[in-house]
Every structure is written in C-alpha cells, then in structure tokens.
Amino acid sequence: MSVVERSRNLVSDTDRSRLVVFALLSPLALFFGVLWFVPMVYSIWASLFANPLGAAEFVGLGNYVTLVTSSEFFAFLWNSVFFAISTTVLCLVVGLLFALVVNRTLRGGGILRTLMIFPYLLPTVVVVFLWQFLLDQNLGLVNRVLVDTGLIAAPIAFFGDASLAMPSIITASVWKWGSFAFFIILANLQAIPDEYFERAQVQGASQWQQFRDIMFPHLRGAILLIILVRGIWMFNKFDIIWLTTRGGPAEATTTLPIWVYDLSIRLGNFGQGTALAIIMFVLLSIVGVVYFVALNPEQEVAE
C-alpha cells in the first residue's frame, strides 16, 4: 500500500470517528440545551417584566434594583450564607469524625456504615416530622430530658423561637446529610495503602502526625469536593426550611429560595421572583469560579 493510500485511509478513519462522536453527542447536547438554555433565556426575559405572566410591563433592570436595594435582600442573603456554611462545615466535621472511627474499627464497622446511611435515605418530610417531634415544646424528648435534668426551667419552642429556629434546622440538616460527607471521606481513607501507616508507626509517628501527613493530603481533594457540592446544595435548599418554619418566626429562617417562593407564588410577583433566582445563579457562579481558580481542585485530585 502506498503512502498516499495510507494517508487517505487515516483521513477516512478520522472522519468516521468524528461522525460517530458527533452522532452520539448531538442528541445529548440538544437534550441539555433544551432543558438548560431555553429555561435560562426565558427566566432572564421574564425578570425584565413586572408581570410576565399577565400584561407584561417592561421594567428592564427595575426588578433587580428593587431587590438589591431592599432591606430584606441582605438579611435573607445572610440567612442563606449562614445556613449553607454552617451545615456544610458541620456535615464535614461529623462525616470526618465518623469516617475516622469506622476506618479504624475492626468490628462493627459494617453496622456503623449501615446506621449512617439511614438518615440520608429518609425523605426530607419524614426527617422534619421526626425532629419536630423530638424538639416539640410539650411532647418532645429533648425538652423532657432537659427539664428532668434541671438544665432548663421550662420547655423551649425550638422552632418557634427566632434565636433557636435556624440552629434547630441546621441540626436536623446535619443529621440527615452528614452521611454524604461520611461515605466520600471513608472511601478515600480506605483507598490509602496500609504500608503508609505501617511505616509511620515504625518511625514513631503519633495519631495526629499520621492524620496530618498521610490522611489529610489524600482527603484534601474529597474535602474540597464536599465543600463545593454540599455548599451549593444547602444554599439552594428549600424543602427542609419550608416544612419546618415556613421561613419564620419573624423571617428568622427566611433564605433566598424561600423568598423566591414568597415573591413568585404567594405574592404573585413572578418578575421579581425570577430576577431573584437569576441573582442567586450569578452569586453561585461567582463562588464557583473563585473556588476553581483559588483552590484548583483538579490538581488535588491529580496528585
């Protein structure tokens, strides 16, 4: 076979490969384009009108200006950030502690892993009912124990107190989603070769030194992943807050997703509701860009 014929065959093989890739990816690109691009364009368009579902009155950036300049915006933004950071950090701490225990436990490790998955598998509404019962002012087990032990003089309305409602929701959230961090960290811990720990023990390294020099470098990529994924999820979390407090009492637990619902559904201000959703998307996009630029998680995974 001549060089020219070989070149033609290579070109034809390359073209076939490109056609196959194009044929496989085109439906996928079209599918995600319809599901993502079209709703995004419509949301941006709707946010520029006072009432896009009715007699659409074009207001331009008026909805955005009204939202950002309102006193509620920064208060609800703070609630969202506080809820997201608190639940993410606590989920990470709880998941790390339990993963370290299970990883070093020879007996009962399977039972502990099974127990850890139960909260994650429960529907959110069941978790809410459970914690509402536990923290109930009259019948709750927590209040009964606190009163019987003399730690408090009278039962506390945990979800009805403006200063305790958010910590109570955070506690329930960590109980449910802490296992997310647990299983990711445990999988990474069990992937570390045993020889590393054996060498460290021979050299007289303490438990803390083994964690600092062996475990943490292997866990850093997983920890960064948990922070990003869980942080975004909790910032956008709606169901557990709405089911427990509806954003109350006195808007103490009203976050931006709850405000989107209030504006769009309860108040019928769909223009401002979609504008607020766009603002949330922009804020999370900025956080994502800063995350990837500053922390470079891909390098951590590669290492």
Using the structure block, give the residue that is written with the tokens 């950030």: 81
What is the residue type of 228? L
Structural contact between residues 221 and 296, judged by C-beta atoms closer than 8 angstroms: no
pLDDT in tens, 129-186: 999 999 998 888 999 999 989 888 899 999 999 999 999 999 999 999 999 999 999 9
Structural contact between residues 160 and 250, judged by C-beta atoms closer than 8 angstroms: no
Reported residue count of the chain is: 303
Contacts of 23 (CB under 8 A, 6+ apart): none
pLDDT of the residue at 298: 56
- Cross-strand bridge partners of residue 49: 58
Structural contact between residues 133 and 172, judged by C-beta atoms closer than 8 angstroms: no
Cis peptide, bond prior to residue 249, ω within 30 of zero: yes
The parts of the chain modelled with pLDDT lower than 70 are 1-23, 55, 105-109, 296-303
Distance CA 279, CA 223 (A): 27
Contacts of 235 (CB under 8 A, 6+ apart): 80, 81, 83, 84, 256, 280, 284
What is the residue type of 85? I
pTM of the model: 0.85
Distance CA 219, CA 211 (A): 10
pLDDT of the residue at 254: 96
pLDDT of the residue at 138: 87
The encoded tokens of residue 150 equal: 């003399």
Backbone φ and ψ of 128, nearest 5°: -65, -45
Structural contact between residues 188 and 215, judged by C-beta atoms closer than 8 angstroms: no
pLDDT of the residue at 101: 85
- Cross-strand bridge partners of residue 58: 49
Task: Please report, to the nearest 10 degrees, the dihedral formed by the alpha carbons of residues 78, 79, 84, 87 taken in order.
Answer: 130
The encoded tokens of residue 140 equal: 């709750």
Distance CA 260, CA 37 (A): 20
